[in-house]
Amino acid sequence: MRIAIDAMSGDLGSAPVVEACRHFANEHKDATLVVVGKQEELESLKDLENVEIVDARDVVKMTDSVMSVRRKKESSLVKALMMARNDEVDGVVSCGSTGAYYTAAMLFVKRIEGVSKSCLMATLPTFNGQGTCLLDVGANAENTAEQLGDFAIMGSLYCKNVRDIGNPKVALLNIGAEPHKGDEMHQEAYKLLNEMKETGKVNFVGNIEGRDILKGDADVIVTDGFSGNIALKSTEGAALIVMKAVKEGLMSSTRGKIGALIAKPAIYSVKDKFDYKTVGGALMMGFDHALVKAHGASDAQAFESAMALTYKMVENHVVDQLREGLKA
């Protein structure tokens, strides 16, 4: 298996990526890492047998417009994706800007035959520790019911093959529990998902409301890109703000500070539980290669978890599974 690594596009530069690559390459001798970036920054990987270095002189910066990928052909991100386009690698990992990454994937990487729309999938940490896959989280500003049906298939197959969930529960994000809730598209999507349940295609469990996303009752939550983006960022924002308020609350009095000092391990465990950085990033779904996006501010550990995810997707032939699943 060969995985292309974009070493340059993250907030923290190449250092954490290099560290992650060194560790991962030593642990996974059956995988070849094709590390793309400024070669002078990748020197320390040269001695590793299963690492190839590809020089790339340009970088797509976080502040660049997403369309910059059109002209930045010599960037590490575009070069890594071009290797997927040319079937030189099985998967790509980057911690670059989500928008630029997705745009470049749309421009340069083929879609799976039969998929009505590609999308972005995020795995959210949940209270029960299981996590839940939410898609689309913002690749599309609008979606059709049929597209949500495809998202349900893709999310289910991902859960089966990567998260080892036998019969993943699929829910539709909506503004109420009853089938008639939501606008016309969501009512249609409910019907379609119900039909797909009856034919055994997906294990549809009904509508889910925003307040239940983080409970972890559903393994997959399908939604249009607009609502999904709002839901993802609202939960993420609220979780971060409440944690920040807890911290400030504790630090605002001596008594709080003492209590915090004692309770530190317990408080940190919660912080880790809902830390979006630990989840391994978003996935570009519907493409004929495994395209994984690590968090922009990934440290070595976070980047390595994104690499492990890619490895598992390739090892378990997730793209082939999706191709089969979307055929019928």
Q: Which residues bind its own copies (CB under 8 A)?
A: 127, 138, 141-142, 173, 175, 181-183, 186, 209-215, 225-227, 229-246, 249-250, 252-253, 255-256, 258-267, 269-270, 273-274
Task: Residue 177: count other Cβ atoms within 10 Å of its Cβ.
Answer: 11
Cα distance from N-terminal residue to C-terminal residue, the chain? 28
Q: How far is the CB of 234 from its own copies (least distance, A)?
A: 4
Residue written as token pair 């690590």: 294
Q: How far is the CB of 229 from its own copies (least distance, A)?
A: 4
Q: How far is the CB of 82 from its own copies (least distance, A)?
A: 27
Output 274 or 303, the one with its CB closest to its own copies.
Answer: 274
3 state SS of 102: helix
The kind and range of the H/E element at 282 are strand 282-285
Q: How far is the CB of 97 from its own copies (least distance, A)?
A: 12
Q: How far is the CB of 177 from its own copies (least distance, A)?
A: 11
140, 224 contact by CB (below 8 A): yes
Output 15 or 230, the one with its CB closest to its own copies.
Answer: 230
Cis peptide before 136 (omega within 30 of 0): yes
Q: How far is the CB of 78 from its own copies (least distance, A)?
A: 22
Q: How far is the CB of 69 from its own copies (least distance, A)?
A: 17
DSSP 8-class letter at 115: -
Output 143 or 310, the one with its CB closest to its own copies.
Answer: 143
Please give the C-alpha separations between residue 29 and each of 2, 20, 22, in angstroms, as whole numbers. 11, 14, 11
Q: How far is the CB of 159 from its own copies (least distance, A)?
A: 21
Output 8 or 170, the one with its CB closest to its own copies.
Answer: 170
Please give the C-alpha separations between residue 326 and each of 49, 89, 152, 171, in angstroms, as whole numbers. 38, 23, 10, 19
DSSP E strands: which ranges in 51-117? 51-55, 91-94
202, 152 contact by CB (below 8 A): yes
Please give the C-alpha separations between residue 254 and each of 241, 246, 250, 268, 303, in angstroms, as whole numbers. 22, 14, 8, 19, 38
Phi first, then psi: give them for residue 51, nearest 5 degrees.
-125, 130
Say what angle helices 76-85 and 98-108 make with each other, to 10 degrees. 30
Output 183 or 195, the one with its CB closest to its own copies.
Answer: 183
Output 107 or 245, the one with its CB closest to its own copies.
Answer: 245
Q: How far is the CB of 319 from its own copies (least distance, A)?
A: 27
The kind and range of the H/E element at 208 are strand 203-208
Output 67 or 107, the one with its CB closest to its own copies.
Answer: 67
Output 231 or 314, the one with its CB closest to its own copies.
Answer: 231
Output 131 or 138, the one with its CB closest to its own copies.
Answer: 138
